Chains A and B, each alone.
Chain A
């Protein structure tokens, strides 16, 4: 059983659509990260959350600590948003990370 579950695994959207990627976790965490991995392999940290909501441009991340659930939203999606999005929960010890298997997003023009 994975400590972090993401859904959906694959997502195809038309340009302009609103996109939601979900992440549920079963362990106690100190923070939750959303990562973006482009086809070349490089990973970029998008958000780190311990409560509430954060916004950066067209990206919004929310977390509900009681429900152990986080969502990543993309508004007005664009083909350049096509990537794999990974949810990572940082355990209470600080150096233990639990990774979701990723959501592969393709945005079609």
Chain B
């Protein structure tokens, strides 16, 4: 079974802190994604990566950056955390191919105080 592991389930950070959210997948998937999920807004794509060192902006990239130095790891970085970045963050991966679906991590609930 494909596994997508997010390093923290719950995280509390202070405004202005630099925050790293880590995601690791074990199935050699090319595509990895970071979403945030907020009530009433559903899942929104922040960034995705289709290969090592490649990244593409999603729908809401402002205030975030990403890093993909190795195929299995995709990191989301909040350069200077703000309270409006309090949210559930979900990482997902997908293989290349028409019929591949997503595999999601279990999520990181980030609170910025």
| A to B CB contacts below 8 Å, 22 in the list | A31-B99, A35-B102, A40-B106, A40-B107, A41-B9, A41-B106, A41-B107, A42-B104, A42-B105, A42-B107, A43-B90, A43-B92, A45-B102, A48-B99, A86-B42, A86-B43, A88-B43, A94-B98, A95-B50, A97-B45, A97-B102, A102-B42
Neighbour of A101 across the interface among B42, B56, B107, CB < 8 A: B42
Q: Which residues of A pack against B, CB within 8 Å?
A: 2, 30-31, 33, 35, 40-45, 48, 86, 88, 94-95, 97, 99-102
Interface size on B, residues (CB 8 A): 24
Main secondary structure of the interface of A (DSSP, over half): strand
Tell me, in angstroms, the Cα distance from A88 to B102 when the chains sit together: 10
Residues on A with beta carbons closer than 8 Å to the beta carbon of B43: 86, 88, 97, 99
Interface residues of B (CB under 8 A from A): 9, 31, 40-45, 48, 50, 56, 88, 90, 92, 98-99, 101-107, 109
Partner of A100, one of B31, B42, B90, B99: B42
* A97 proximity list for chain B (CB < 8 A): 43, 45, 102
Q: How far is the CB of A14 from chain B (nearest CB, A)?
A: 26
Which residues of chain A are within 8 angstroms of B31 by Cβ–Cβ distance? 95
